[in-house]
């Protein structure tokens, strides 16, 4: 007898120094159209060199997956006539900080016990960033695990498939989607980690406005 297991989880937060209003929330029917478009994320996302390669846990390429996720998020934004997000090294390191903590803990959270790294704003400040508005999306996407009797097999996605799944997780969740399409955001850092024990990928994306 075969059993198939695929786990996904996600959390989101946004930090404001003031209280800007996000006027970009969409009705459910428009969100459904966005979800359909993700299934056909185009050349920018899927036609990058090696994007169609199956993820090999022994030779994982995090930079490729990070780039594909950012491209996918930018395609969603462009379909809403919003500016693209540019890669930002400060936000990347802030994302890496939290993503590493989350992967080690094995639970999704936006906080850390270390007071200097407790919130996404503090983590960005630790990297030298001082931004007006900061957002953070976190997700975990498991690979499909197939159990046949006492044997267990892991079915690995391609990089393009995993990127699409991550983008879809965030678009399907209203709080995450608010960050994805918040019009003031103009830069981002995406960090991913492969968890070989849990057979999945942790991803953290941090967003911000100009300083």
Fold category of 2-18+30-208 in CATH:
Pathogenesis-related Protein p14a (3.40.33)
Using DSSP bridges, classify how beta strands 133-142 and 200-208 pair: parallel, antiparallel or unpaired.
antiparallel
- For residue range 121-142, list pLDDT tens digits in order: 999 999 999 898 999 999 999 9
Query: What are the extents of the domains in the chain?
Result: 2-18+30-208
The per-residue pLDDT for 165 is: 93
**Closest C-alpha among 166, 189, 163, 193 to residue 103:** 193
H-assigned helices in the chain: 28-38, 43-46, 62-79, 89-105, 120-126, 159-172, 174-180
**b/e string for 109-119 if b means 16 or more Cβ within 10 A?**
ebebeeeebeb
pTM for this entry? 0.81
Asked if 4 and 144 count as a contact pair (C-beta separation under 8 A), the reply is: yes
Q: How confident is the model at residue 18 (pLDDT cuts 50, 70, 90)?
A: very low
H-assigned helices in 80-114: 89-105
- For residue range 34-49, list pLDDT tens digits in order: 555 555 554 445 556 6
| Residue 90 to residue 98: CA distance in whole angstroms | 13
| Residue 39 to residue 128: CA distance in whole angstroms | 37
- For residue range 59-90, list pLDDT tens digits in order: 999 999 999 999 999 999 999 999 999 999 99
Q: How confident is the model at residue 22 (pLDDT cuts 50, 70, 90)?
A: very low
| Residue 98 to residue 113: CA distance in whole angstroms | 11
| Residue 20 to residue 41: CA distance in whole angstroms | 30
């Amino acid at each position: 007898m075969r059993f198939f297991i695929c786990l996904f989880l996600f959390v989101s937060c946004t930090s404001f120094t003031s209280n800007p209003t996000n006027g970009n929330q969409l009705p459910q029917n428009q969100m459904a159209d966005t979800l359909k478009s993700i299934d056909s994320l185009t050349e920018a996302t899927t036609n990058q060199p090696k994007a169609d390669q199956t993820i090999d846990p022994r030779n994982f390429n995090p930079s490729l997956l990070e780039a594909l996720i950012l491209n996918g998020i930018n395609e969603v934004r462009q379909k809403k006539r919003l500016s693209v997000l540019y890669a930002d090294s400060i936000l990347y390191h802030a994302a890496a900080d939290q993503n590493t903590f989350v992967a080690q803990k094995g639970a999704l959270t936006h906080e850390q016990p270390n007071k200097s790294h407790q919130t996404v704003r503090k983590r960005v400040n630790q990297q030298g960033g001082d931004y007006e508005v900061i957002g953070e999306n976190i997700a975990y996407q498991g690979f499909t695990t197939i159990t046949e009797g006492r044997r267990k097999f892991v079915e690995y996605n391609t990089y393009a498939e995993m990127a699409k799944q991550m983008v879809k997780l965030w678009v399907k969740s209203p709080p995450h989607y608010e960050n994805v399409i918040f019009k003031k955001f103009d830069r981002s850092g995406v960090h991913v980690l492969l968890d070989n024990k849990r057979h999945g990928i942790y991803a953290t994306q941090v967003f911000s406005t100009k300083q």
